[in-house]
Amino acid sequence: MFVAETEKLKRIVRGTQVKPRMALNSTFMCPSCGKEVTFDSSSSELLEYFNHKDGSSDCFANDAASDEHRLASEISLQAIYNRLARDTNKPVEIDTERWVGEQPDFIFADVRVTSPAYITAEIFYKARKFNLRDRFEVLSQNDYQTYLIIHTEGCHDPDEINRYMSRVSPLNVGYFDPHSMEIVLGDLFSWEQINFNKKNKVPNYLIFSG
- Please give the mean pLDDT across all residues of the chain: 95
Per-residue pLDDT for 209 more than 70?
Answer: no
**Exposed, middle or buried, 101 (CB in 10 Å: 0-12/13-18/19+)?**
middle
Q: How far apart are CA 141 and CA 161, in angstroms?
A: 25
Q: How far apart are CA 45 and CA 15, in angstroms?
A: 10
Residues of the chain with CATH 3.40.1350: 67-207
Task: Specify the pairing of strand 145-151 against strand 11-14.
Answer: unpaired
**pLDDT at position 48:** 97
CATH architecture of 67-207: 3-Layer(aba) Sandwich (3.40)
- Tell me the whole-structure pTM to 2 decimals: 0.95
**pLDDT at position 62:** 86
The confidence band for 64, taking pLDDT boundaries of 50, 70 and 90, is confident
The count of other CB atoms within 10 Å of the CB of residue 62 is 15
Region of residue 105 (left: phi > 0; alpha: psi -120 to 50; beta: else): beta
Region of residue 89 (left: phi > 0; alpha: psi -120 to 50; beta: else): left
Per-residue pLDDT for 123 more than 90?
Answer: yes
The confidence band for 154, taking pLDDT boundaries of 50, 70 and 90, is very high
Per-residue pLDDT for 79 more than 60?
Answer: yes
pLDDT digits (tens, 9 = 90+) for 158-202: 999 999 999 999 999 999 999 999 999 999 999 999 999 999 999
